[in-house]
Each structure stands twice: as structure tokens, then as C-alpha cells.
Amino acid sequence: MFFPEEMIEVELIVPEENAVAVTNMLAEEGVFHQVDAGYVKSNEEAGPAVAASDWQQRASAFAALERRLLTIMDVLGVEEGVPLPDSDAITDVEAVRPDVERLEKQVQDVTGDLEAEQKRREQLQSYIQQLEPIKQVEVPVNLLRHPSYVFSVLGIIPEDHLTRLETSLTHIPFVLVTLLKDNRRAVVVLAGMQQHADILDRAARSAYLNPLNLPDEYQGTPQQIIDALQAEIAQMHQHAVEREGAISELRKQHQEQLQTLLWRVRTGRLLSDALARVGRLRYTCLIVGWVPTARLDALTQQLKQVTDDVLIETTPVSRSHAGQDVPVALKSPGILGAFRVLVTIYGRPRYEEIDPTIFIAVTFPLLFGAMFGDVGHGLLLALLGGLLASRKVRALRGLAELGPIIIICGLVAAVFGLLYGSVFGVEGILPALWFRPLDNIMSILTTTIGAGVVLLSLGFILGIINACVARDWGALIVGHNGIAGATLYWSLLGIAVQLILGKQVVPIPVLIVLAALAGVAVMFSEVLQRLIDGHRPLIEGGVVTYVVQAVFEMADTLISILSNTLSYVRVGAFAVAHAGLSAVFFILAEMISPAHGVGYWIVVVLGNVFIIGFEGLIVGIQTLRLEYYEFFSKFFKGGGLQYAPLVSLSKRGSK
Amino acid sequence: MGGGDVSEYAAIHARVRAMYAAMLSSETWRDLCGASDLTSLIDLLKETAYGPYIAEVEDSRLTPRRTAYQIRKHLAAAFDAIVQLTPAPTRSLVNRLCRRYEVDNLKALLRGIENNTPWEQVNFVLFPLGAFTELPGQEMVEAESVAAAVDLLQGTSYYDTLSHAMKRYAEEQSLFPLEVALDLAYWRDLWRNVGQLSNASRMPGRRVVGSQLDANNLLWAIRYRVNHRLSEEEIINYTLPFGYRVRDEDIRAIAAGADIASIVSRIYPEMGDVTSLLREPQSGIPELEVQLQRYNASVYHNAFLGYPFHIGIPAAYLLLAEMEIQDLTLLLEAKSAQLPLERFQPHLLVGCISEQR
């Protein structure tokens, strides 16, 4: 529960002929996180073995077939469907290719070259668009395109480029007339003197003004050419209507076959990809990956059922020597899983790191509840969480993952509401089982600082445990969050508490000596860590620079210690603000309707909605901040590799 | 600067602050720059936030290009995280910032097609955008021609721009008009989007995005004039009339043949001696580019100061993260070629540069 799931490295050596069956089985089981072993090759020429590059080629071939199938399905309007239960076995590419080609041909026979036809239609439309603004000109187009005495261009330009084109020609006389603007493009005529033809031409080209390039076959006035073009488009449209019936027929005939083919091809691609990452020895194959240790026995049994000739080598990996290539599977049972999202937003734990999910699952609702303590608001928030989790409101489905967190936070806030004696901001109905924050401001503030001290101390302890597990002795002994950092913190805390309370449990001189020793260790932690870890040189860039840097870092550490602790004051401050804000709304309501009429209740209801929505959000963010900055920064680095097992498509579909 | 901005940006602000704090520290940069060879550099990188992405690939396959591809996944993940947390009205800006990598990918794909480079090689030059991209990369590279590849883009936001520019490609058989058209369309769209931001976000958004736009626009104008020797009207048409500090008059003056150094000095008085820098334009322009980018890095860092609830902070972080990756890519190439520190350090944007200042 405290660490990511224990993983074990598994090497499977299987006869070449069983490689496909074993890979199939691994995908079926869905627990094997495969690692690329394609770099392993036999020194001798492999006999009948299929090289990894062949599987790579097959994967590419499957991918190409998949794209072709998707194109056919797109043209026919066929949905992808879902993977069939029996579609998990790998198929030979050549067994599927003829079917795909036959279907492709059938579709092409009916549709013709749709792409070419579409382009042709767009081109004709473009001619019409360019001719439209000058259709009333009763002059043959040929004369407009080749004037004798002026330079002119009629064409289309992206609308965004118009102003720039004008700017680029400010130093010569010219005329730029926009005839039509449509779909972020403009039909324009650019004209100027022949002696400036070079400049005008360069400007037009660089502004992407594409001149009208009507083929010579179109003769006559603009209106005559437009009529001819429209007739051609109408003819093409008639062909399209006739074709639609045939497409519909094809869809009915081949829908099921296309869907089956698609999922067979996809399975082929998935498994070929996996097989391309298998290492090739002379007669055997090497499949390497990671499995959760708890699942190893079950997987071994399944493997033995596929073939008795499989050799399974396992390498347990200790957390202290785990590299970053060990995948991290987080196991957070039940409701704890809901809080995992708050951890993974910050980072995925490394294999050797404590998974902070359980700590955030406990501390997050407590901090939230303490800041938002109110029976009524808490229960309403819990109801809202329930609504989110139920996924009944389509618009809120994206937030469903947060539902359980909001439910728990709402319930804890309700419990704190009982402790504070607050319901919907009214503080006279329920007795306070603990105390009312607004009447005991100093008590709530000191209590929350105390809670902060406990949490920060826990952070230091977890940091020390992490350093121990990772055997990072330097960080453990003299690190800012190691023993030295914790000793400095606790010593300074001890001095402060004893001075404030006027009591002495541990002699202050002893604490001063401890703080000084720990302070020196923290100040020179970089050098000391390099010394302990055996890294050289101890100091880079000069002793003086280093000492100056160390002094500043020490100052920074002391400020951090103080600010991290005082940061928890906000918990108390928000508890007070919550009660204060509620009181403000009651005062406002009283001012609007002293006789407690409709206006009074409208303000009260709106005020409560505001508190639940706005203040709830702010409190949530503040809680997250306390967790991430103050708590996590003491022990959690993150950056672990996600556990992504090979899973068959049908299994994915069923999930 | 109302409560709406505070509530909308609080979560993303907290997240981005955490990501900003996780960027490579000066100590880490010092270690990385001092790595004895490529293998040690990669080993050091494995201990950073880039580690999980590098660990996805077997050590023996980690060439500089492949490693650079893997570390770019970190930026893709950052985009993913930020897009999800960005409030809906400004999410389109973050998406558009991400689209610049798609534009670069598109250019790389077109170059791959023209040079007949196989997909396996082109793939690792691309920015790994995952689900963010609408480009059918492999199909495009496997298409027979640039025209066929552009046809495959139908339905995407690039089709209109490219299909219009294809006329010039057909005439000139050069990718230049296509690439310029893509750049201009991208920046016009992005700038339009910045103008539509809420009041609190518009100014910081303009400062961050506009600073990057300024550097690009200025360098385009200078390069078109000095390297490509284009005419005044072409330079104007291939550049943009807006920006944050660079005005249209500046671009037009450069296009018309005015002294470049004095224009750059006036726009960026903090930049130092630009005249001597541009005395040798061929070597001076790349150096000017580095200085502009470093200036922009300081703008992005400054975005984290002051009122925090606006889009400027996520945008600045993403641009800084991109610079960090640019530097790491350069470092990988440098260590692979066994270049000494003094050869590559002048080209770094955010890493190992404190000693030079």
C-alpha cells in the first residue's frame, strides 16, 4: 500500500515456433509490460527464424491495410464497430490483403476516382468565383487577361495578405480592387504601369496572389463561361446522385465483413508490433518485460499451458537498486484509488518511492474539512460529488473522476461543521462540539500551525525513509529533507515552542548545538553529499563562489522552514473566513429585507450557493497547494515510468 | 483581474509553478555540460525529469537523435497537462502554441517527401505530439509527391493554406513558398487568438507570445535581405505587420535597406553592441538569434513575477521548457561530436550560460 506494486523482471526464452502463441497469450493475460529486446540478435545466421525486422515490416503492412480499410469504410459510411471476442489471434497479412484489395476495387468501380472528381469540382467552382465579379463585363475574357498598355493581374489572394500586399507597393503607383471576399479569400484585380511590371509581379507572387488560369478551351464573355462551367458541375452532380444508390447497396453487403477485417488487421498490427520487440537467438526467441510479482505464478501456469519448452528467468529487483526503467503500477484499493489522480497530476511515483496516495487520501479531506467546516455546506457538497460520480449529467461527465473525492471532502467538512457548530453559516442552531473558529481565532490558528508541524514532520520522516530505501546515503544524512534537515527543523521548533511556553523539556543549549550542527550540514550538503557518495570534484567553480552560494542556500532553507510551517495558518484563516463570509451574507439579507421576506431568503440562498461554489473551489486549491508545496516537496520526486501492459484488443474493448 | 481569473487560473498556476520548479537547475546544467561523453550525459539525464522518457528506449539505441526525440516527449506531456487544466476560454491559445510543433513537423514531413527519406528516419525528427496531431505523418511520407501529401491534409486546418500555395510550389519546385505560407498563417492565427484573450490575460499573453513573434519576424526580415537578397516588396509580404516591441515600420525599414544594427539597437537597447555583431552578417545573424532568444528567456522568467492569474505563466513555462529541450538537443549533438565546452556554450539559450553573463 505504501510502495508501488512489487515488480519482477521476466525473460522468456521460447522456441521460435511458439513465439506467436506466447505473445498472443501475454496479450490475453494483460499483465506483461513488454520491453524492447529487438536489439538481441544471434551472431550466427538464424535458420528458419523470422527476423524482428520482418515483424516490423508486417506491422507496417498491417498499418497500411488498416488505413486502406478505414478509407473504404469512410467512403461507404461504415462504423468501426467493436472487436469480436474471437479476433485476438494473429492473421497472415497475405490472407487478408486479397479481401481488402477486392473490396477496394469494388468501391472504386462504383465511386470512380472520387478524389480527382472532387478536385475538378473545386477547380470549376474557383473559376466561377473569380469570374462572378466581372460577369457583367461584355468583353471576351481573353482581352481582360492580356491588356496591352497596363500590367494587371486578376486572381485570388488570402484575405489576410491584402493589407500586406498594399503596404509592399507603397513606393509605386498601383490600383488594387477587391471584387469579392468569400471564405477568407478575396478575388482582386491588381493593376499598374507596364514599367513597374517586375515589382508588381514580385509583390503579387510573394503575397500569394494566384492569377486566374482559365484553360483556353473556355472562350467568350465571363457570363458565357460561367454558364458553361455551371453546366459541367450540374452534370457531375447528376453522376454523384446515381452513384449514391450503388454505395448504399455496397454498404449493406459488406458492412460486417469490413468490421471483421478491420479488427483482424488491428490485432495483427498490435501483435506484430509486440513480436518486433522480441529478441532473436539462433533457435529461440527472447521476450523481456516486467510483471507484478503477485501475478507471476498465474502467468507462469498460463505459459506452461502454451508450451512446456518455455524457459522463464526472473530477476527480482530491489527498490534500492531500481533504475527508472522499472514500470510503476500503483495499487490503491477502494476509495483510495480516487485520490490517485491528485498524485499523478503532480507526478508518478518512482519504483523506489513511497506512493503518497494514502497520505493525501487522509490529509486532503482533513485539511479541506477544517477550512470548509459546515454541516449544511458539507452535505450539499457531498451530494454534488455523488451527482458527479453518478455520471447522470452529460455536461459533468468529464468531472466524474473527482466525484468520490468531493463526496469524502463534503462529509469531512460536515463533521467539522459539527465540531464548529455551524450549519449553512448559522452558528446558533447546533452546539459546537469543539469550538467556534470566529470566537476562538488564536486557538484555531495555533491548532492549524500545530497540524502543519505534524504534517511537515511526517514529510521529513517519509523523505528519510525514501532516502533509506534508495540507499541515497548522502541525501539521507545531510540532505535538506534528510536527517540533517529534519534535525534542524525540530531543533528550531523545540527552541521556539519552549521559549513561547516558558517551559523547558530539553535544555535549550542542547537544541542550539543540534541546530547549529544540522545547519552546517545542510549548508554544505552539496559538498558533503558528493563526499559521502564518492563523487569528485567536491567543489566545482571555486571555493569562494561555493561558500557564497551555500550561505544564500542556508538563508533560503531557514526562510522555507518558517514559511512552510506558517503556510498552514491558512487552514485556520479559511475556517474563520468561512464563518465570517456566511455572517456577511446574513447581514446583507437583513439589510435587504429586515422582515425576513422573499428578498432575505433570496440573498441567503445565493450567498450559500456562492460559498459552496466559489469558496469551495478556493479551499480545494489551497488544500492542493499545501499538499504539493509544503508536504510533497519534502519526500516526493515523481517521474516514474507508467506500467503499460500488452493487452489484447477484445480485452481493452470489454473494459 | 476579477475573482473569475483567480478561480480559473489557480489550479493551473499551482501546477505550472511546480513544473517550473522542476526545470533543470544551474547545478544540473553544470553537471550536464561537464559530462565527459554522450553516455555520461545520457546517464545524467536519466536522473532528471527526462529520465522516464529516455528509459523507454534500450541504451544501445540511444543515438543523439533518438535521445532528443525521447526528451521532446517531456514537453509533449507538459502540453498535455497544461491543456487539461487551462480554462476553456484560453485553452485554444495553448492548443495553438502546441500547433507550432505541428507546423514544424509538417515542414519536416514535406522535406522528407522531397528528399525521399523513409518514414523510419523522418519519424524521429518529428516532435512527438501523440493525440495532439492531425497530421497523417506516415501516409504523407509514403505518398508519391508533395501534391499527394497535401491532398491527404484535407479536413485539417493546413489544407487551405497549402493548397493555395501549391500553385507556386508547382511553378518553382521549391518548398520555400509552402513553408513561408505555413509560418505566416500560423502566426496570424495565433496573434488573432491572443487579441481575443480576457483583459487580465491579454497583456501578459501579448508580452510572452509577442516576444517570440518579434524575434522571428525580425530575423526573417534580416535573413530575407542579407541571405536571400529578396526585394523590398517580397520581404514585406513574407513578414508580419504586428508584434510586441518590433513595429511594422521597423520591418519595412529593414526591407527598404536601412541600417539593421541601428534598428535592432533601438528596439533592444539592452542587447549591447549589435553593430560589431552584424559586421560579419553570416556569423553575426546566428549570434543575434541566440541573443534574442536569451532576451526572450528573461521575458519568460519575468512572467512569473507579479499578478499570477493569467495565461502568461503557462505560456512562458512552455516556451522555457522548449528552450531547455533545444539546449539539451544541442548538448547531445555536441557531446556526440566530442566538442569542447567553449565550442557549444555560446549557442546555449538557458543552460550553462550564467558564467558568460
Distance CA B256, CA B232 (A): 6
Contact list, A158 vs chain B (CB under 8 Å): 161, 164, 185
Write out the residue range of the structural domain in which residue A245 sits: 54-128+230-270
β pairing state of A641-642 and A327-328: parallel
The torsion angle over the Cα atoms of residues A99, A103, A105 and A107, rounded to 10 degrees, is -170
Q: Residue B152: closest CA among chain A residues belongs to which residue?
A: A115
Contact list, A151 vs chain B (CB under 8 Å): none
Least confident interval from A74-83, A530-539, B333-342 = A530-539
| Closest CA of chain A from B299, distance in Å | 24
Of B14, B54, B168, the CB nearest to A621: B14
In a domain, A639, yes or no: no
CATH number, domain at A109? 1.20.1460.20
Distance CA B198, CA B226 (A): 39
Contact list, A203 vs chain B (CB under 8 Å): 233-234, 237
Cα-based distances in Å from B155 to A71, A72, B34, B108, B257? 14, 17, 48, 20, 41
Beta-carbon separation of A324 and B167 below 8 A? no
Q: What's the distance, CA B313 to chain centroid?
A: 17
pLDDT at A52 (0 to 100) = 58
C-alpha grid cell, residue A337: 484509488
Beta-carbon separation of B232 and A624 below 8 A? no
Of A163, A205, A618, the CB nearest to B7: A618
Taking the Cβ of residue A163 and every Cβ of chain B, the question of whether any pair is shorter than 8 Å is answered with yes
Q: Is the peptide bond before A316 cis (omega within 30 degrees of 0)?
A: no
Mean pLDDT confidence for B137-149: 88
- State which of A332, A348, A364 marks the end of a domain: A348
Average pLDDT taken over every residue of chain A: 86
pLDDT at A541 (0 to 100) = 65
Tell me what ipTM this predicted complex has: 0.87
- The contacts of residue A422 (CB under 8 Å, 6+ apart) are A373, A374, A375, A430, A432, A436, A578, A579, A582
pLDDT at A455 (0 to 100) = 94
Q: Work out the percent of chain B whose per-residue pLDDT is above 70.
A: 96
Residue B208: closest CA among B103, B297, B98: B297
In a domain, A46, yes or no: no
Distance CA B307, CA B313 (A): 10
In a domain, A626, yes or no: yes
CATH number, domain at A157? 3.30.70.2750
Q: Are residues A479 and A572 located together in one domain of the fold?
A: yes
Beta-carbon separation of B241 and A163 below 8 A? yes
Q: Are residues A403 and A511 located together in one domain of the fold?
A: yes
Least confident interval from A543-547, B71-75, B317-321 = A543-547
Mean pLDDT confidence for B127-146: 84
Q: Are residues A526 and A455 located together in one domain of the fold?
A: yes
Assess contact for B71 and B78: CB atoms under 8 A. no
Of A119, A169, A205, the CB nearest to B168: A205
Cα-based distances in Å from A633 to A560, A579, A630? 11, 31, 6
Beta-carbon separation of A167 and B181 below 8 A? no
Substitution target in A34, A199, A325 with the highest count of B β-carbons within 10 Å is A325
Contact list, A621 vs chain B (CB under 8 Å): 7, 10-11, 14
Beta-carbon separation of A206 and B234 below 8 A? yes
| Closest CA of chain B from A428, distance in Å | 31
Beta-carbon separation of A617 and B7 below 8 A? yes
Number of domains observed in the structure of chain A: 4
Question: Helices (DSSP H) in chain B: which residue ranges?
Answer: 3-21, 26-33, 38-45, 51-54, 64-85, 88-114, 119-123, 137-142, 146-151, 159-172, 176-195, 199-226, 232-237, 248-256, 260-267, 274-277, 281-302, 312-336, 341-344
Q: What's the distance, CA A250 to chain centroid?
A: 40
pLDDT at A107 over 90: no
| Closest CA of chain A from B83, distance in Å | 13
Of B27, B51, B188, the CB nearest to A324: B51
Which A residues in the span 325-344 are in contact with B, Cβ-Cβ below 8 Å?
A: 325
pLDDT digits (tens, 9 = 90+) for A55-92: 877 888 888 898 889 988 988 889 888 877 666 677 88
Beta-carbon separation of B7 and A614 below 8 A? yes
Distance CA A32, CA A314 (A): 13
pLDDT at B1 over 50: no
Taking the Cβ of residue A526 and every Cβ of chain B, the question of whether any pair is shorter than 8 Å is answered with yes
Q: What are the residues facing A150 on neighbouring strands?
A: A193
| Closest CA of chain B from A625, distance in Å | 7
- State which of A329, A348, A367 marks the end of a domain: A348
In a domain, A33, yes or no: yes
Q: Are residues A259 and A285 located together in one domain of the fold?
A: no
Taking the Cβ of residue A202 and every Cβ of chain B, the question of whether any pair is shorter than 8 Å is answered with yes
| Closest CA of chain A from B168, distance in Å | 8
Contact list, B7 vs chain A (CB under 8 Å): 614, 617-618, 621
Taking the Cβ of residue A121 and every Cβ of chain B, the question of whether any pair is shorter than 8 Å is answered with no
Distance CA B190, CA B312 (A): 14
Distance CA B164, CA B155 (A): 14
Distance CA B302, CA B288 (A): 21
- State which of A300, A320, A348 marks the end of a domain: A348
pLDDT at A47 (0 to 100) = 45
The torsion angle over the Cα atoms of residues A517, A523, A526 and A529, rounded to 10 degrees, is 10
Q: Are residues A325 and A434 located together in one domain of the fold?
A: no
Q: Are residues A458 and A515 located together in one domain of the fold?
A: yes
Category of A506 on φ-ψ map: left (φ > 0), alpha (ψ -120 to 50) or beta: beta
DSSP letter for A524, please.
T
pLDDT digits (tens, 9 = 90+) for B68-102: 989 998 888 888 888 877 877 788 888 888 889 99
In a domain, A325, yes or no: yes
Query: What's the pLDDT band for A637 if we cut at 50, 70, 90?
Result: confident
Taking the Cβ of residue A113 and every Cβ of chain B, the question of whether any pair is shorter than 8 Å is answered with no
Beta-carbon separation of B248 and A167 below 8 A? yes
| Closest CA of chain B from A514, distance in Å | 28
pLDDT at A652 (0 to 100) = 64
Contact list, B46 vs chain A (CB under 8 Å): 323-324
pTM, two decimals, is: 0.56
Contact list, B162 vs chain A (CB under 8 Å): none
Query: What's the pLDDT band for A375 if we cut at 50, 70, 90?
Result: very high
Buried b (16+ CB within 10 A) or exposed e, B13-50: bbbbbbbbebbbeeebbbbbbebeebeebbebbbebbb
Cα-based distances in Å from B343 to A208, B33, B333? 41, 11, 12
Maximum Cα–Cα distance across chain B: 56
Distance CA A207, CA B17 (A): 42
C-alpha grid cell, residue A124: 470549376
Q: Are residues A203 and A64 located together in one domain of the fold?
A: no
Task: Answer with the residue of higher pLDDT: A550 or A467.
Answer: A467
Cα-based distances in Å from A118 to A73, A274, A569, B165? 18, 40, 67, 19
Beta-carbon separation of B10 and A618 below 8 A? yes
Taking the Cβ of residue A219 and every Cβ of chain B, the question of whether any pair is shorter than 8 Å is answered with no
Strands of the A185-193 sheet, one edge to the other: A174-182, A185-193, A150-158, A210-211
Size of interface A-B (CB pairs under 8 A): 105
* SS3 per-residue string spanning B30-93: HHHHCCCCHHHHHHHHCCCCCHHHHCCCCHHHCCHHHHHHHHHHHHHHHHHHHHHHCCHHHHHH
Q: Are residues A107 and A242 located together in one domain of the fold?
A: yes
Q: Are residues A409 and A288 located together in one domain of the fold?
A: no
C-alpha grid cell, residue B240: 508580419
Residue A38: closest CA among A21, A59, A24: A59
CA angle A334/A337/A339 to nearest 5° reads 125
Q: Work out the percent of chain B whose per-residue pLDDT is above 90.
A: 45
Residue B312: closest CA among B7, B3, B13, B10: B13
Least confident interval from A39-53, A365-379, A558-572, B233-247 = A39-53
**Count of CB atoms situated within 10 Å of the CB of A274:** 23
CATH number, domain at A24? 3.30.70.120
In a domain, A407, yes or no: yes
Of B18, B142, B167, the CB nearest to A210: B167
E strands along A526-592, which residues? Answer: none
Substitution target in A168, A348, A538, A628 with the highest count of B β-carbons within 10 Å is A168
For chain B, the first-to-last Cα distance in angstroms comes to 36
Substitution target in B19, B233, B235 with the highest count of A β-carbons within 10 Å is B233
Query: What's the pLDDT band for B356 if we cut at 50, 70, 90?
Result: very low
Of B15, B46, B237, the CB nearest to A164: B237
Substitution target in B80, B161, B237 with the highest count of A β-carbons within 10 Å is B237
Q: Are residues A123 and A180 located together in one domain of the fold?
A: no
pLDDT digits (tens, 9 = 90+) for B19-65: 888 899 888 898 899 898 999 999 999 988 898 889 888 888 888 88
Of B15, B237, B252, the CB nearest to A203: B237
* SS3 per-residue string spanning B197-228: CCHHHHHHHHHHHHHHHHHHHHHHHHHHHHCC
Beta-carbon separation of A156 and B138 below 8 A? no
Assess contact for A322 and A641: CB atoms under 8 A. no
| Closest CA of chain A from B277, distance in Å | 29
Of B54, B165, B233, the CB nearest to A169: B233
Taking the Cβ of residue A425 and every Cβ of chain B, the question of whether any pair is shorter than 8 Å is answered with no
In a domain, A196, yes or no: yes
- The residue type at A59: A
Taking the Cβ of residue A51 and every Cβ of chain B, the question of whether any pair is shorter than 8 Å is answered with no
Q: What are the residues facing A157 on neighbouring strands?
A: A186
Going A557 to A560 to A562 to A568, the CA torsion angle's sign is: negative
In a domain, A45, yes or no: no
Cα-based distances in Å from A535 to A526, A530, B24, B183, B212? 11, 5, 20, 48, 40
Residues in chain B: 357
* SS3 per-residue string spanning A334-395: CCHHHHHHHHHHHCCCCCCCCCCHHHHHHHHHHHHHHHCCCHHHHHHHHHHHHHHHHCCCHH
| Closest CA of chain A from B308, distance in Å | 14
Least confident interval from A180-184, A374-378, A451-455, A574-578 = A180-184
DSSP-derived 3-state class of residue A593? coil
DSSP letter for A7, please.
E
**Count of CB atoms situated within 10 Å of the CB of A351:** 26
Q: Are residues A366 and A403 located together in one domain of the fold?
A: yes
- The contacts of residue A403 (CB under 8 Å, 6+ apart) are A338, A385, A386, A387, A388, A389, A390
Beta-carbon separation of B164 and A210 below 8 A? yes
